[in-house]
Amino acid sequence: MPHIAVVIPVFNEAEVLPTLLQRLRAVFDAAPELRWSACFVDDGSRDASVALIEAAAQQDPRITAVLLSRNFGHQAALTAGIAQVRGADAVVTMDADLQDPPELIPELVAAWRGGAEVVLAVRRSRRERGMRRLGFELFHRVFQRLTDQPVEANSGTFGLLAAPAVEAFTQLPEQHRFFPGLRAWVGFTRAVVEYDRLE
């Protein structure tokens, strides 16, 4: 039975964590052919996120709480979570704010089972408007011009890495990480799953 580990960095997400946990469990309850675990990495939250994560971990042995000593940033928290995963056949990385819908995980897993070792969740649309949206678009344009390794313009953290890709990622020596760039750099067979990003 394949083991899917989900790694979720958390920073002040107490408002949405109960819903995220409920939806995550529902996704895997509907897929009994998969074994799953979830690693929530708290990145120095100042709200009730830590209490919620610790309570979830006490109630469910499939859930692990990793509590960083301060706010190190999203990329560092993501890296810390991936480093904690043991024995998974694939790792799903996603944000905690519900912009990345847990309900897409079965499609990521299906693409992996179809032969992809890196699966990107690519946004068909995004709800951000104004300066925030312009900032995202400008960043991706500049990044593409500065690097010889293309990164999918509408992809972010959300996606899946098969065990060989996880191993390659964890061996990289970079201390200041940009996850989408490093995920592109390690190579491997890839697939794309499109979705609509929520607010």
What gap in Å lies between CA 108 and CA 50, rounded to an integer? 28
pLDDT at 74: 86
Cα 120 from chain centroid (whole Å): 10
Count the Cβ atoms, other than its own, within 10 Å of residue 140. 16
pLDDT at 131: 67
What gap in Å lies between CA 183 and CA 44, rounded to an integer? 25
Report in angstroms the alpha-carbon separations of 21 from 189, 190, 191: 30, 28, 27
pLDDT at 108: 93
| Predicted model pTM | 0.82
Tally of CA atoms within 13 A in the half-sphere of 91 that contains its CB: 26
Q: What is the pLDDT along the chain (199 residues), one digit of tens a residue?
A: 889 999 999 999 999 999 999 999 999 999 888 899 999 999 999 999 999 999 999 999 999 999 999 998 888 888 889 888 988 999 999 999 998 899 999 999 999 999 988 888 888 765 556 665 555 556 545 545 555 656 566 657 888 988 988 887 787 667 766 656 566 756 777 887 888 776 6
Amino acid code (one letter) for 188: F
